[in-house]
Amino acid sequence: MIDPIFLLEAAVNGIMLGGVLALLALGLNLIFGVLDVVWIAYVDLVMVSMYAVYFTVMVYGWPLWLGGLAGVALGVVLGLLVHVLIITPILDSPPVNQLLATGGLLFFIQSFATFLWTTDHRSVRIALPPLEIAGIFVSYARLISFVLSIAVMIGLYLFLTRTYIGTAMRAVSQDRGAMALMGANPQRVYLVTSAVGGAMAGVAAVLLSIQYSVHPYFGAAFGPITFMICVLGGLGNMVGAFVASFIMSEIIAIGGVVWSTEMGYVIAFALFIVMMFVRPGGIFARRQ
Amino acid sequence: MSATPGRIAFATVVAFLGIAPFLPMAGMKQYMLHVVIQIFIWTFIGQAWSLMGRFGLVSLGHGAFLGIGAYATTLLWNFYGLTPWIGSLVAVALAVVMAFLVAYPCSRFGIIGHYFALTTLAVGEVVRLLIIAERDWTGGSLGVTLKAAGDASFIALQYADKQVWYYVGLVLWLAGLWVWARLDRSMARAAMEAIGEDETAAASVGIRVTRFKLWLTVLSAALTALGGVAYAQYITYVNPETLSGIGVSLRIVFAVVLGGMYSLLGPTVGTALTIALSEWLRIVFGVKFIGMAETIYGLLLVIFIIFLPAGIYGSLADLVRRRRRPAAAPATA
């Protein structure tokens, strides 16, 4: 039998992981809600930003906060580039073409990163002692990531509810046609959405880079679980994605301790499939 | 006789069939033969995918069926010495069960579009991760090599001679074309197109939506698993990354969409092009610039999808149709 203390530790770690996953899921969900496009390569953009943090901090010796800002800025630029170069020309194409265009981008980014930076794992090493609370060890890096990701999500919430453009974004996600009729400029809303989505990817990249080492296939490790979370919470549903992140991260963390990391993921994905059948519209969907 | 795209396609197939059986005898290089065999097998898999894809059932998880097919026969042979002739039946049966488990609730509860794509993606990932997690059996991410059969190559379905595989591939390809054409001419096609357009409307005119989708998914999964068996027997090595999960699933879809999934030869053209392209890039860059070949591959895919949304073959067929129309117009006037 597994010592309950390990389970408790896994549960705490699960919550920490859930914060960052929620950040990823909210960014992707925001883009889906407004643009009705799933960026298959979303987490690969995160990977590129992680490299930015790694190179600015570890190679050029910038302070972490400055490197972090560079990572976020790069995320914004990448988000805008993806929207302008890839999504805009195919906004009216069938969904399969949109999925595949960003899927092609996934191949492109992964292999180009392999070409540029090889498959070596690189990590931003910050020496922080683990924190011990009642016999449970929690890494400081994870705690900081968790707190920051919650702060950023509160910021996103305020942005969406308190600003004009944020309100416009929510309006578009509810009714695309009516939005144009009201005289708002959908193009501008799309651009801002992609930039904000990119910024979320950048922030997630910074928070992930102080916990995990980065490699070209980082996106493959975190991508599928991010999609699952979005669908589980209901595509475009922010609160749903937030809750789903913690459900999934707990399953992965506890499953990882009890069986193995892969089994944790298998259980999480299996639960996802089952949930799709029980509640196809996401955990918070109203029954029709 | 006017040159409709359908007739041209048909004539191309017939012409190719005339020379196909003799190609390997003309001293084709082993490497060329290898490329052509791969094109045959992957086209077959692409055709299987397009049976669903063309009706709006976009699956991003066909790697699941592929992996089940490849691993079932390989493991049954390695551990129990069961001949792949029976093993492939088991593999297809497993894929059918899997397809049923996924497709029934999906059709029943109306999971379509993005939701369907992402659900199937999860299914593909489950299979990939299960293969990795059960590493005592499956060799984990290192993969598994098919046990050599020695003399019993017919029972083991292992042939070192590439010519044999050329004909196996040819037969598979033709079978795929036949299934595609058969479906194209059946009543099911009209029903499925109606379902693809609007499920509720289709159901209201008496089309059994669930039954049609289920049937199509099961058929597609069974053929995909068969393709997986063929690939595993040919390569004699299976690996979770190349046979299941998101990577291979996307590659299948790419090839088909690139060729054009609404036409008979679309999957063939798309698969031939993507395989030729990646082989060519691999030769050009070799081991010098690791990742460069795939980088260009990805970039070209994005460009193709943006500029040729109907696929290469589909766009060509449109062009033929458009060229014909001005010529035909004065005749009717």
CATH: 1.10.8, 2.40.330, 1.10.287, 1.10.3470. Which one for A4-116+140-278?
A: 1.10.3470
Whether A111 and B306 lie within 8 Å, measured CB to CB:
no
Assigned token pair, A249: 């991260």
Give the Å distances, CA to CA, from B17 to A119, B10, B167: 44, 11, 12
Is residue B276 included in any domain, yes or no? no
Q: What is the pLDDT of residue A196?
A: 94
pLDDT higher than 90, residue B286? no
pLDDT higher than 60, residue B329? no
Whether A100 and B292 lie within 8 Å, measured CB to CB:
no
Banded model confidence at residue B326, pLDDT cuts 50, 70, 90: low
Summarize pLDDT for B263-284 with one digit per residue, the tens: 888 899 889 988 988 888 888 8
Select from A32, A88, A107, A237 the residue whose CB has the most chain B CBs within 10 Å, as the one to mutate to test that interface: A107
| Percent of chain A at pLDDT exceeding 90 | 35
For chain B positions 114-143, those within 8 Å of chain A (CB to CB) are: 114-115, 117-119, 121-123, 125-126, 129-130, 132-133
ipTM above 0.95, yes or no: no
Closest among A203, A199, A163, A170 to A80, alpha carbons compared: A199
Place of tokens 């600015």: A56
Tell me which range, A86-90, B40-44, B279-283, is most confidently predicted by mean pLDDT.
B40-44
Side-chain half-sphere exposure of B107, counting CA atoms within 13 A: 24
Least confident of A170-174, A249-253, B80-84: A170-174
Assigned token pair, A200: 């979320």
Give the Å distances, CA to CA, from A278 to B108, B113, B240, B253: 11, 18, 29, 28
pLDDT higher than 60, residue B1? no
Other Cβ atoms less than 10 A from the Cβ of B330: the count is 7
Do residues B34 and B282 lie in contact, with contact meaning Cβ atoms separated by under 8 Å?
Answer: no
Other Cβ atoms less than 10 A from the Cβ of B175: the count is 14
B60 touches chain A (CB under 8 A): yes
Least confident of A96-105, B143-152, B276-285: B143-152
Distance (Å, rounded) from C-alpha A245 to C-alpha A225? 9
| Number of domains chain B is built from | 1
Q: What is the pLDDT of residue A149?
A: 92
Q: What is the pLDDT of residue B330?
A: 45
Is residue B326 included in any domain, yes or no? no
Q: What is the pLDDT of residue A204?
A: 94
Instruction: Give the strand pairing for B144-145 and A136-138.
Output: unpaired
Q: What is the pLDDT of residue A205?
A: 94
Give the Å distances, CA to CA, from A52 to A49, A70, B240: 5, 7, 31
- How confident is the model over A119-136, as a mean pLDDT? 78
| Percent of chain B at pLDDT exceeding 70 | 92
Summarize pLDDT for A176-211 with one digit per residue, the tens: 777 777 777 788 889 999 999 999 999 999 999 988
Q: Is the torsion defined by CA of B184, B188, B190, B191 positive or negative?
A: negative
pLDDT higher than 60, residue B328? no
Whether B133 and A86 lie within 8 Å, measured CB to CB:
no
Q: CA triplet A254, A256, A262: central angle to 5 degrees? A: 135
DSSP structural state of residue B141: G
- How confident is the model over B26-35, as a mean pLDDT? 80
Is residue B223 included in any domain, yes or no? yes
DSSP structural state of residue A136: E
Domain spans in chain A, listed from the N-terminal domain onward: 4-116+140-278
What does residue B189 show for φ and ψ, rounded to 5 degrees?
A: -60, -45
Q: What is the pLDDT of residue B17?
A: 74
Is residue B20 included in any domain, yes or no? no
B324 or B311: which carries more pLDDT confidence?
B311
Do residues A169 and A192 lie in contact, with contact meaning Cβ atoms separated by under 8 Å?
Answer: yes
Is residue B108 included in any domain, yes or no? yes
Q: Give me the domain span that covers residue B177.
A: 30-245
Distance (Å, rounded) from C-alpha B100 to C-alpha B94? 10
Considering chain B, what is the average pLDDT of its residues? 83
Assigned token pair, A134: 């009642």
Q: What is the pLDDT of residue B190?
A: 79
Closest among B220, B219, B230 to B88, alpha carbons compared: B230
Distance (Å, rounded) from C-alpha B18 to C-alpha A178? 58
B332 or A250: which carries more pLDDT confidence?
A250
